[in-house]
Chains A and B, each alone.
Chain A
Amino acid sequence: MLTDQTIFLTTSTLLIFLGLFAIFYSRNLLKTIISFQIVVFGANLALFSSGLGEGPNLMANTLVLFSIVVGGSVEAVGLALIVLVHKQYGTLDPWEIRRLRH
């Protein structure tokens, strides 16, 4: 039987795989950060859906809260690093940045 938990777990798996695929194949650091955000979305949805059932599950909700805070902080730091990299090298292409370093 198709339950809400199954639907959300499938969606979260798809989100995580889409995000990982985009991280590996992206040629832009901004897209990498955005893909990381999508992986965080998938993880949050998986944590939340694991607590779905009879009534609210406080453990799952607390873990999602932690995940939101950590994910947001990591993304903010990543965006700051992107601004620094763009100021230093003038591009956001990782291969171009590697070529310019040598």
Chain B
Amino acid sequence: MANEVALLLSAALLLTVIAALFSKSMSVTVIMLFYASLILGIIFTIFQGVLVGLLHIVTFAGAISVLLLTVVLMTGESNLNIGNRPLGAVLGTVTILVVSASSYSLFSGLSNRAVSSSESTIGLLTFVWTYRPWDLLILIVVFAAAMITIVNLFSEKE
């Protein structure tokens, strides 16, 4: 099972990196690099490096992505649009909903309730939503994704 997870995550990492490197548009490059940082952080987190994974996501998917986005906007190297505004609106709405649900779950104490209960250990989603570090990880990830989506959505094409 772990081999399949490693293969899947490695393939996703390579695909996002190739898309980032060989894309014509700088906005696609920045977004793909963001997702590559996330996938690498998830690899670290899954394979017993939770602290390393969290630090990696906070540093690269958080701070460096924001810096990169700022530099791209300042230098005018990008024509920031995702091409399809309805799709962007749907993505933005979904990410904002997930941020709200995740914040509610994190701060209301619901995530402590079923860590040891046996009925909730079947699905991966249940595990993700009941284990507190995963909750925080998802919150960070989705906040960053929402930021990039919203910046894309409201930017004018040059």
Contacts and interface: CB of A to CB of B under 8 A. Distances in A.
Interface string A18-36: 1100100000101101110
Contacts of A83: 71, 74-75
A97 to B, nearest CB: 13
**Which of B7, B13, B40, B52 counts the most chain A CB atoms within 10 A?**
B52
A44 B29 contact: no
A31 B77 CA distance: 11
Given A30-B68, A37-B64, 4 more contacts: A38-B36, A64-B56, A68-B52, A72-B63
A30 B75 contact: yes
A61 B52 contact: yes
Given A7-B6, A68-B59, A76 B75 contact: no
Interface residues of A, number: 41
Contact of A52 (B40, B47, B56): B47
Interface of A: 2-4, 7-8, 10-11, 14-15, 18-19, 22, 28, 30-31, 33-35, 37-38, 41, 44-45, 48, 52, 55-56, 61, 64-65, 68-69, 71-72, 75-76, 79, 82-83, 86, 92
A1 B43 CA distance: 20
B72 A68 contact: no
B118 interface: no
Contacts of A56: 48-49
Contacts of A41: 13, 17, 36-37, 40, 60
Contacts of B44: 48, 64
B68 A34 contact: yes
Given A37-B60, A37-B64, A2 B52 contact: no
Contacts of B26: 30
Contacts of B64: 37, 72, 75-76
A17 to B, nearest CB: 11
